[in-house]
Amino acid sequence: MSKNKKIVVGLSLAAVAFVIMMFSTMPSAGSKEITIADLSKNGSKYEGDYIMTQGLLNKESVKWDADKLELRFELYEEGQGTLQVFHKGIKPDNFSEDVIVLVEGFIQKDGVFEAEKVQTKCPTKYEGEDMENYDTEMHKEMYKNDKQE
Amino acid sequence: MYLIGNISIYLGIVISLYGIIANIVGVKKKSSKWIESARGAVLSLAFVASIASFLLLYLLGTSQFQYKYVASYTNESLSMAYKLTAFWAGNAGSLLLWAFLLALYATMVVFSKEKKNPMMPYVSSILMVNILFFFTVMALNSNPFEMTDKIPADGKGLNPMLQNPGMILHPVTLYMGYVGLAVPFAFGIAALILKRMDSEWIKLTRRWTLLAWLFLTLGNVIGGWWAYIELGWGGYWAWDPVENASFLPWLTVSAFLHSVMIQERKNMLKTWNVSLIILSFILTLFGTFLVRSGILTSVHAFGDNNLGTYFLVFMAFMMLFSLYIVMTRYGLIKKDSSPIEAYFSKESSFLLNNLILVAAAFAVFWGTMYPLISETFTGTKVNVGAPYFNKVMAPILLVLIVLMGICPLIAWQKAVFEKFMKNMLWPLAMGVATAIILFVFGVNGIYAIIGLSATSFMFGTHLQEFARGISARRKATKENILKAAFKLTVKNQRRYGGYIVHIGIAVIAVGVISSHTYSTEVLKTVDAGDSIKTGDYSLKFNKLTEHTKNGNGIVVADIDVMYKGKDIGKIKPEKIFYETWPEPSTEVAIKTNWSQDLYVVLSSWESKDKVTFMVKVNPFVSWIWMGGIIMVIGTAFALIGGRPTTFRHQINKGISRVGG
């Protein structure tokens, strides 16, 4: 095979692989990151999409049925709206007031978000409660205030 | 002490600048005095970095809370080991660690036997540019010696999830891997700048590369182990951006350390090699940038925008610089290499190896960066999760395993197909037999069966290589099998060390494929006295108790475990409530044996008599850690082996002088 043919074969293999990869990463394969504000206003637009969203936890809203392993709680984005969440599974450890919760799942017709994954995000993972070094703009607007115990 | 710390950082900046300039002047004026002075600068940098590092250790060990870093990551009651290893718990300390390792490595390089090598001033300068960067970032952005406004009574303490032996090892091994790559990178670029197309730079840096790769391997495996025993979700790898950041360079360096063998022996794949080392080096910077800039959402939220920007700029600079060097020398590289002649030869299989590993790296890179790419083009951030990575990586890694199996059987230059087929027979039979046995035992999951059979095949070829070598030795020396095996490996360390590493990978593959496909999980709330049944296990929850230890409150669940009807003891998952930490930590309880892990998490409780558990049965997970150890042993053999490079180099020099 001549050098040109080698290049053509190589490139076409690469192209095929690339296309396969593209299809694997189509939005259906991943989760779209939507804000609570957006979800509460345009919930119906996102029905059927696998969504990821996050918000601050309203501690009083947490209802946990240990026998049925059903967790219900409410997330909010300051001044922007709230989201009712339902999750079949275990309650995460740090479900305390104002903790940032990340959920992935689907928004149902009745507006309740059925979460397949629930994760709490420690404000800072490695340090103590030092909020100055904390994260990006996105979280600064969500994060309320320092919790001094 | 504050003065000493800060002065050492500023000195670091000044001395590295001086060293770079001294090297440039020395080369331009061909003056060995200037070069010697630059060497002295490197030594001073090591000295200065050591002072800063020991100072930080001292501050941490003696709990000097007037320093922000000490107050942020330690507290009085923390054990000494964790007080000291808090060195790399945050940005500033990690940067200092990086600078220290760089200065140390640079000193080892410039004072080595090769100090008069014409490449040395360039190598030294490139390394010092790196050192300069790290000291600069520390001075401008993350100073480990920053003071607090008022001295706190006690520090904030270390996140309990990090109070684990994995925390001591994982960051340090990864850094030793990342920093180690700076040396072959510096040599590669130096060789190109000098328009040297030979393999000397590769021979001189072989051990550096191997060592860096060893640490990357260790870092990744330990990271997975730490996640598994500490984080309580039952897995060891989640394709999180932070994990991917350390996996990417591992992939490209794996390609590099194979590909250089071809350049050494056959003068081929030169462009590949320089490209791979440049890519690997850039990826080490990229990984750090990714993790510390907060541009990607990950549960490892670690962001500080400014720090990320510094890394981005430096990375861009190094990338453009390297690209420029390669482009301007491209013609020369091509002129001096031999093209690959035969399609079916060892050389072409190594080329295929490069392609596959780079494809794997690209797939991981793509998935990791996809949220940003999608946001740029569609406005919505789409997060790609584990399903994408598993779907794309599984076939790529499967092809890699098959290639690993085939490669030892292919001869150099044009391989004879018939001979190759004959050699393939036994291993192929092993692979097929594995598939049949799995079917017969009712194991389902076609992909897992294919994966396991391929692994078995690959194991078979390597076993065969050992068997052949051993029997050839025994014909000559009449040693017993074990002694022959050992001697064989010792006399051909690079080759058989490499084979051992491949076998380690096969062992890991069994663990990964099995645990990924056949893990089971049960979530259940039970009353005291009730049992949870899963697989062949029966777990009877007895009671929940509470006690204090070291000022922390510990809640323990007492569970009796029966396996296939026989009592195998107790398992006690816990939750620990810390004095200085708002969230409790989950202490997973694991019962391991060679074939599976019983993994139990105390999830939550309504009362002392009503508790929710997560029980997982993970097959063959211990094989993953075992395989990691085997890989380390193999790499150790490969490291020690090979004649001293200077010796071989002299021979080559002599030959070329004679040959003309």
Q: For residues B646 and B526, which has the higher predicted lDDT (pLDDT)?
A: B526
| CB < 8 Å to A98, chain B | none
| CB < 8 Å to A102, chain B | 297, 299
Proportion of chain B above pLDDT 90, given as a percent: 55
Q: Are B67 and B7 in contact (CB under 8 A)?
A: no
Q: How far apart are CA B184 and CA B249, in angstroms?
A: 14
Among the residue ranges A105-109, B397-401, B652-656, the one predicted with the least confidence is: B652-656
Proportion of chain A above pLDDT 90, given as a percent: 10
Proportion of chain A above pLDDT 70, given as a percent: 69
pLDDT digits (tens, 9 = 90+) for B115-171: 888 999 999 999 999 999 999 999 998 899 999 888 888 888 777 777 888 878 888
A30 and B382 within 8 Å at the Cβ level: the answer is yes
Q: Is pLDDT of A131 > 90? A: no
Phi/psi at B546 (5° precision): -135, 140
Q: What is the average pLDDT score of chain B? A: 88
B366 and A21 within 8 Å at the Cβ level: the answer is yes
Q: Could you tell me if A122 lies within 8 Å of chain B, comparing CB atoms?
A: yes
State the DSSP string of B63-109: T-TTBHHHHHH--TTS-HHHHHHGGGSSHHHHHHHHHHHHHHHHHHH
Among the residue ranges A46-50, A82-86, B220-224, B311-315, the one predicted with the least confidence is: A46-50
Task: Give me the sign of the Cα torsion angle B418, B419, B420, B424.
Answer: positive
B580 to chain A nearest CA, in Å?
A: 8
Q: How far apart are CA A42 and CA A68, in angstroms?
A: 31
Superfamily per CATH, domain A32-142: Nucleic acid-binding proteins (2.40.50.140)
Q: Could you tell me if A79 lies within 8 Å of chain B, comparing CB atoms?
A: no
Q: Could you tell me if B610 lies within 8 Å of chain A, comparing CB atoms?
A: yes
The pairing of beta strand A51-65 with beta strand A31-33: parallel
pLDDT digits (tens, 9 = 90+) for B170-202: 889 999 999 999 999 999 999 999 998 888 999
For B426, the token pair is 């036994």
Q: How far apart are CA B513 and CA B628, in angstroms?
A: 15
Indicate the domain borders of chain A. Answer: 1-29, 32-142
- In B, residues 176-195, which contact A (CB 8 Å cutoff)? none
The pLDDT value given to residue B103: 96
Q: How far apart are CA B294 and CA B305, in angstroms?
A: 7
Q: For residues A149 and A13, which has the higher predicted lDDT (pLDDT)?
A: A13
Q: For residues A145 and B390, which has the higher predicted lDDT (pLDDT)?
A: B390
Hey, how many other C-beta atoms are within 10 angstroms of the C-beta on B54?
11
Nearest chain A residue to B606 by CA: give it.
Answer: A66
Dihedral-angle region of residue B196 (phi above 0 means left; psi in -120 to 50 means alpha; beta otherwise): beta
For B261, the token pair is 């063998």
Q: Find the mean pLDDT for residues A102-121.
A: 88
* Alpha-carbon torsion angle B392, B395, B399, B401, nearest 10: 100
Residue of A126, A132, A134, A139 to mutate, interface with B, max B Cβ within 10 Å: A126
Q: How far apart are CA B217 and CA B621, in angstroms?
A: 17
Full-model pTM = 0.88
Q: How far apart are CA B186 and CA B318, in angstroms?
A: 11
pLDDT digits (tens, 9 = 90+) for B25-71: 999 998 889 999 999 999 999 999 999 999 999 999 999 999 999 99
| CB < 8 Å to B381, chain A | 32-33
B89 and A126 within 8 Å at the Cβ level: the answer is yes
Hey, how many other C-beta atoms are within 10 angstroms of the C-beta on B3?
8
Nearest chain A residue to B73 by CA: give it.
Answer: A127
| CB < 8 Å to B159, chain A | 122, 125-128
Q: In what order do the strands lie in the sheet with B520-527?
A: B520-527, B610-619, B596-607, B589-592
Proportion of chain B above pLDDT 70, given as a percent: 94
Side chain identity, residue B364: V
For B454, the token pair is 């391929």
Q: How far apart are CA B634 and CA B645, in angstroms?
A: 20
Cα–Cα separations (whole angstroms), residue B268 to B34, B342, B529: 36, 12, 69
Q: Which of B654, B588, B629 is nearest to B217 (CA)?
A: B629
Which of B157, B301, B303 is closest, CB to CB, to A128?
A: B157
The pairing of beta strand A100-107 with beta strand B520-527: unpaired
A122 and B90 within 8 Å at the Cβ level: the answer is no
> Residue with structure tokens 């002047």?
B25
Q: Which of A112, A95, A4 is nearest to A58 (CA)?
A: A95
Q: How far apart are CA B608 and CA B594, in angstroms?
A: 34
B72 and A33 within 8 Å at the Cβ level: the answer is no
For B392, the token pair is 């794309």
Which of B343, B388, B582 is closest, CB to CB, to A149?
A: B582
B157 and A25 within 8 Å at the Cβ level: the answer is no
Q: Is pLDDT of B211 > 70? A: yes
Q: Could you tell me if B294 lies within 8 Å of chain A, comparing CB atoms?
A: yes
Phi/psi at B610 (5° precision): -140, 110
Q: Find the mean pLDDT for residues B253-270.
A: 90
A33 and B381 within 8 Å at the Cβ level: the answer is yes
Which of A14, A66, A128 is closest, CB to CB, to B72?
A: A128
Q: Are B527 and B609 in contact (CB under 8 A)?
A: yes
- In B, residues 297-316, which contact A (CB 8 Å cutoff)? 297, 299-305
Q: Find the mean pLDDT for residues B543-560.
A: 90
| ipTM attached to this prediction | 0.70
pLDDT digits (tens, 9 = 90+) for B604-647: 888 888 999 999 999 999 999 999 999 999 999 999 876 544 44
Using CB atoms within 10 A of its CB, is residue B116 exposed (0-12), middle (13-18) or buried (19+)?
Answer: exposed
Task: Give me the sign of the Cα torsion angle B349, B351, B354, B359.
Answer: negative
Hey, how many other C-beta atoms are within 10 angstroms of the C-beta on A146?
10
Nearest chain B residue to A15 by CA: give it.
Answer: B359
